[in-house]
Amino acid sequence: MESSESNQQEEIKGICYDCLRPLKSCYCKYTAPVESGIKFVILMHPKEAKHQRTGTGRLAHLCLPESEIIMGIDFTHNKRLNDLLKDPQYFPVMLYPDPDAWNVNREGFAEKLTDKKLLVIIIDSTWFCSKKMIRLSTNVNTLPKFSFANLYKSIFTFKEEPEEYCISTIESCYYLIKEMQGKGLSPKEADPEPLMNVFKAMIKYQLEMENKRVLGLIPNSHAKDHKYTKLKNIPEFLQKYTPKEFEEKK
Ligand SMILES: [Zn+2]
């Protein structure tokens, strides 16, 4: 009892208030402001907010100075979101894969933006929860849909967990900025790489933690799940991303 109480206190004291990670595994050193000229609004399911382990919406927000996170499930009467949607300086779209969605290559898209800023609504949640959020939020589900001109695969796929075949929120922001830059619709000087760097740092941290569990160095709550009993190979492209915790021990 006593020790769990002091652990809790330790955790509260040791939290980074920017990335909401324990200080020892804070990802902020990989973040940097990406001045993309795009306004991203991340609609976060309250459940996702608790999934700090795999949620990337908050990490994206750390790199996108103009972005906002709004929490909720039904946003129909969300004042902040409705104010943004009504604001004439924006061309609001919902990021959603759809054959009829707008993308940077679609005729007339650049013209739509001539005097407006792209406002991209991203639903940051599991596929299951996001369907419900979209269905309930009539102010969002009536927006023009926007998607990518190219196909992308998440760098998460090597983990072979089905839900992670979907591209993450942070990767969506990254590829969208790249496509907008490719069309001259977003400032070329804005370097979007911090988005990918912080994402890689997060994945590497997770893999290292899973391996620590497998090796019995930290308690393993998934001990019966075979997925968590095999050591994970850390791919070459993640090697240089060293979260603080592992850096200090070197
Ligand atoms: Zn941090």
pLDDT per residue as tens digits for the range 76-119: 999 999 999 999 999 999 999 888 899 999 999 999 888 899 99
φ, ψ of residue 35 to 5 degrees: the values are: -85, 80
Centroid of ligand 1 to alpha carbon of 127 (angstroms): 27
| Distance between Cα 44 and ligand 1 center (Å) | 19
DSSP code for 225? -
Q: Kindly give the distance from the C-alpha atom of residue 31 to the centroid of ligand 1, in angstroms, as a whole number.
A: 9
Distance 193 CA to ligand 1 centre (A): 18
Domain count, the chain: 2
Q: Residue type for 175, please?
A: Y
Cα R_g (the chain), whole angstroms:
19
Strand partners for 120: 40, 93
In this structure, the answer to whether residues 171 and 53 fall within a common structural domain is yes
The structure tokens 């940097």 sit at 32
Instruction: Give the Å distance between the CA of 97 and the centre of ligand 1.
Output: 31
Domain assignment present for residue 154? The answer is yes
Q: Are residues 156 and 238 in the same domain?
A: no
- Looking at 173, 192, 211, the residue that finishes a domain is 192
Q: What is the pLDDT of residue 225?
A: 63
Confidence at 213, pLDDT banded by 50, 70, 90: confident
Q: Which two tokens stand for residue 221?
A: 């709550």
Residues 83 and 101 in one domain: yes
The position carrying tokens 């009829």 is 100
111 and 203 fall within a common domain: no
Binning pLDDT at 50, 70 and 90, where does residue 152 land? confident
> Is the same domain home to 168 and 130?
yes
CA of 28 to the centre of ligand 1 (A): 4
Is 238 found in the same domain as 175? no
One-letter amino acid of 187: P
| Residue where a domain terminates, one of 154, 175, 192 | 192
Query: Helix or strand or coil: residue 234?
Result: coil
Assigned domain for 4 exists:
no
* 44 and 150 part of one domain: yes
Q: Which of 40, 61, 56 is nearest to 176 (CA)?
A: 40
74 within a domain of the structure (yes/no): yes
Cβ(55)–Cβ(49) below 8 Å: yes
Q: Is residue 9 part of a domain?
A: no
Q: How far is the CA of 20 from the centre of ligand 1 (A)?
A: 6
Residues 67 and 136 in one domain: yes
The whole-model pTM stands at 0.84
The phi-psi region of residue 189 (left if phi > 0; otherwise alpha if psi is between -120 and 50; otherwise beta) is: alpha
Instruction: Count Cβ atoms within 10 A of the Cβ of residue 215 and give its class: 0-12 exposed, 13-18 middle, 19 or more buried.
Output: exposed
Q: Which domain holds residue 244?
A: 196-249
pLDDT tens track for 107-135: 999 998 888 999 999 998 877 888 999 99
DSSP states along 12-66: HHTB-TTT-SBGGG--GGG------S-EEEEEE-HHHHH-TTT--HHHHHHH-TT
Q: Report CA(202)–ligand 1 centroid distance (Å).
A: 11
Mean pLDDT value of segment 229-246: 73
> Residue 22: inside a domain, yes or no?
no
For 59, the token pair is 């990490």
